[in-house]
Amino acid sequence: AQKVTQAQTEISVVEKEDVTLDCVYETRDTTYYLFWYKQPPSGELVFLIRRNSFDEQNEISGRYSWNFQKSTSSFNFTITASQVVDSAVYFCALTSEGSNFGNEKLTFGTGTRLTIIP
């Protein structure tokens, strides 16, 4: 069985501070994919990043960066110089290489509600 744990339920930081959202996952599969999604108050999930299990390089995209460590089964997300527009619920998700093709169900964590205080 697969599982994603986001231990931080809510985080509040003052604008321009850096913030890291934690994600720990469990899977028995050797090939798997990790995702981060952002859910603003409107409700629509916005895709941020996909990472496969064979690529442990950290990734940076503007103010966003991701730290993937297989040794600790973690895929953490850092926002640098946070802005009010970053306020949202952030979900980490996991899927594995399925028997038919790669696109199996996503297993989501419970999310972290991030509030940026102006």
Partner 1 sequence: ETGVTQSPTHLIKTRGQQVTLRCSSQSGHNTVSWYQQALGQGPQFIFQYYREEENGRGNFPPRFSGLQFPNYSSELNVNAWELDDSALYLCASSLAEGANEQFFGPGTRLTVL
Q: Tell me whether residue 65 or residue 97 sits nearer to partner 1 (CB atom).
A: 97
Q: State the DSSP code for 106.
A: P
Q: What is the separation, in whole angstroms, between the first and last Cα of the chain? A: 41
Q: Tell me whether residue 9 or residue 118 sits nearer to partner 1 (CB atom).
A: 9
Shortest distance (Å) from residue 2 CB to partner 1: 11
Q: Which stretch binds partner 1 (CB under 8 A): 11-19, 55-63, 69-77, 93-101?
A: 93-101
Pick out residues in 9-38 that bind partner 1 (CB under 8 A).
Answer: 33, 35, 37
Neighbours of 31 (CB within 10 A): 12
Please say whether the beta carbons of 62 and 74 come within 8 A: no
**Residues in touch with partner 1 (CB under 8 A):** 4, 33, 35, 37, 42-47, 50, 52, 91, 93, 95-98, 100-111
